[in-house]
Amino acid sequence: MAFTEFRTLDEKSLVEYIKATPALSDKIGNNFDDLKIKEVGDGNLNFVYIVVSPAGSFVIKQAIPYVRCIGESWPMTKERAYFEALALREHGRLCPENVPEVYHFDRTMSVIGMRYLEPPHIILRKGLIAGIEYPLLAEHISDYMAKTLYHTSLLYRTTTEHKHDVAEFCGNVELCRLTEQVVFSDPYKVSDFNRCTSPYLDHDAEAVREDDILKLEVAELKSKFCERAQALVHGDLHTGSVMVTRESTQVIDPEFAFYGPMGFDIGAFIGNLILAFYAQDGHADQGNDRKTYKEWILRTIKETWSLFYKKFTALWDEHKDGSGEAYLPGIYNKPELHQLVQRKFMQDLFHDTLGFGAAKMIRRIVGVAHVEDFESITDASKRAQCERPALNLAKMLLKERRNFQSIDEVVSAIQQLQ
């Protein structure tokens, strides 16, 4: 059976596909008798199969030409698999400890074969709902963000190298357009796709649509998202795109990857931690009021930014006389000048992070795709009580982000708005 043109794989044809692909059949020791295959795609877009044999394992991810959770009425390019494989390989090269290895990519079939993150790895979002602490999370995610964002920016590279890669990733326009719609447009207008915890949040959703200052600020963030090719961003770095154990942190699913503003990744991650914080009261019970867990989440938010700042600026210091063309050493040759530009850059990045993080929070409460943190709170009025302060904080952060000088001030604001 030849796989020379695209077709959607099922468990039966997947076995044939593996047989025809040495890079995959070698991983399971060519043993097809004791093969276990399980479809686990719980996301919105793709089919995901776990393939396990006594000799080895891998995951197969296939992009199909429409949005899986909606159906063929919402077409979606399967070329996204190409950009996902490209980003996994590039980010994996820069931070191999926190990105699963790619074993195989087939552009015709839109199939990626990669490392299976075996149990006890779970999706971070599910761990946050369950109230599990991950002592190394901030350490690992800050490592991933500092290494991937720094090394794909002009702080490290020449404009020639940078433009070449920007041009390549411009091909991922369809997924960028999806983000433009669901993050920067739909929540601010009447749209069939929007939903909220009705009737409780109907007024709140309307207030978002009527807030002119909010719309002014969102336009600026959208413009940055569309125009600022700062670094190779993951493009969808929420807590559902990270798999964890207490010792391991693995970033998956970069199919939205493109050259965009660094703050979009950092903000996505921190914004989703803030959502997890506000959802905790909905998951508290007699046995656990979640108070200490909420403190852990706030500590993790602080550490994520602080460690990122430290690691990113350390990489910058280390390579300041390298081939990066943003700040040429012949011009930025005094230590105090180096510090001046670095401080300004990091402050702007901090404000971008808060803005994008807030935009991501808003769309998860009044837009099309919500988060399990809130959705798993079955009592709708209770859920709305958790969502409302999160929405209010996000609106405030988005409009007043430039007034915040430190992550500590942000955490204080979160604590006050409960």
Q: What is the pLDDT of residues 391-409, one digit of tens each?
A: 999 999 999 999 999 999 9
Q: Is the CB of residue 357 less than 8 Å from the CB of residue 274? A: yes
Pairing of strands 46-53, 242-244: unpaired
Task: Kindly report the number of other CB atoms within 10 A of residue 397's CB atom.
Answer: 27
Helix (H, G, I), strand (E, B) or coil at 257: coil
What tens digit of pLDDT does each residue of 165-217 get? 999 999 999 999 999 999 999 999 999 999 999 999 999 999 999 999 999 99
Structural domains in the chain, CATH included, are: 11-114 (3.30.200.20), 122-416 (3.90.1200.10)
Q: For residue 71, what pLDDT is reported?
A: 82
Rg (CA), the chain: 22
Q: For residue 72, what pLDDT is reported?
A: 87
Q: For residue 42, what pLDDT is reported?
A: 74
Q: Is the pLDDT of residue 12 over 90?
A: yes
Rounded to an integer, the average pLDDT of 135-156 is: 99
Greatest Cα pair distance in the chain? 66
233-242 as b/e, with b when 16 or more CB fall inside 10 Å?
A: bbbbbbbbbb
44-49 long-range contacts, CB within 8 A, separation 24+:
44/68, 44/69, 44/70, 44/369, 45/69, 45/76, 45/80, 45/255, 46/255, 47/8, 47/9, 49/9, 49/11, 49/14
Phi, psi angles (nearest 5°) of residue 369: -105, 115
Among all chains, which residue has been given the structure tokens 């961003």? 233
Q: Is the CB of residue 359 less than 8 Å from the CB of residue 221? A: yes
Q: For residue 32, what pLDDT is reported?
A: 95
- Give the span between the Cα atoms of 248 and 245, in whole angstroms: 5
What is the number of residues in the chain? 418
The burial class, CB within 10 Å (0-12 / 13-18 / 19+), for 284 is middle
What's the DSSP call for residue 416?
H
pTM recorded for the entire structure: 0.98
In angstroms, how far is the first alpha carbon of the chain from the final one? 59
The burial class, CB within 10 Å (0-12 / 13-18 / 19+), for 35 is middle
